[in-house]
Structure 1
């Protein structure tokens, strides 16, 4: 009996998410086909010009926009940003620094501090030997 290995493929939306690009901005060939794991790996290691350009200038998907602004995806929604943004638009938002962005950055900083605090608390708890129960 011979082992027959099938090539694993993914939808273009999944591949775009893994590449960190906005699907609608990718070439039609990319959007209409399927992407194998080998093709995805090749795109990651030796990106074509369209991928380099998309990563540099956008439009960027919401997770990338949120990361570039230093806020959460939910914070983007609360700020009214629902569409993909270009690098230029992101930079303009940073320059404007609207109230909602300042608030969301503060919130995100507090969330990060709390996450670190909880992590340290849990680490300290696991470092202590367990006391036997009476």
Structure 2
């Protein structure tokens, strides 16, 4: 596979990887080896960054879209992420709160669906009531 694909699967920012990783194809066998027994460079990248957007979003507790809306969709180091979390700007507080609300709404909707499905199973009704 291409180094970019392998970097995504490993959760690291490709430009921060060693040249020998970026230079050629990464076999599935090598990817599995990197996942099961990561070398020091990979452990260090995962620990300190720079981290790719999905990892930055996960660590900040926001979506990638929220990062993009606020011009923050760039690789950040662990220290930069910690600094943002220690003194969050308004956009970060709003994005985290918005995501928490959406997750709560999704959980309530899921519970309603499961409740309806359980009632339908209990009542022997396979479909919606009319």
Q: TM-score, normalised by structure 2?
A: 0.90
Question: Is there any run of 5+ residues in structure 2 with no aligned partner, and where?
Answer: none
CA distance in 2 between partners of 1:17 and 1:45 (Å): 16
Q: Does 1:23 align with 2:14?
A: yes
Structure 1 stretches of 4+ with a deviation exceeding 2 A read 131-134
CA distance in 1 between partners of 2:42 and 2:22 (Å): 13
The count of aligned residue pairs is 125
Residue 39 (structure 1) aligned to one of 21, 30, 37: 30
Deviations 1:38-85 (A, max 9, x none): 111100110000000000000000000000001111111122202100
Which position in structure 2 is the counterpart of 1:14?
A: 5
Question: Is there any run of 5+ residues in structure 1 with no aligned partner, and where?
Answer: 1-9
Which position in structure 1 is the counterpart of 2:69?
A: 78
Residue 81 (structure 2) aligned to one of 76, 90, 97: 90
CA distance in 1 between partners of 2:119 and 2:20 (Å): 57
Q: Which one has the bigger helix percentage?
A: 2
Worse-superposed segment, 108-117 or 43-52: 108-117
Residues 13 and 50 in structure 2, CA contact (< 8 A), matched pair in contact too: yes
Q: TM-score, normalised by structure 1?
A: 0.88
Which position in structure 1 is the counterpart of 2:116?
A: 125
Compute the displacement of 1:131 (Å): 6.5
CA distance in 1 between partners of 2:47 and 2:2 (Å): 23
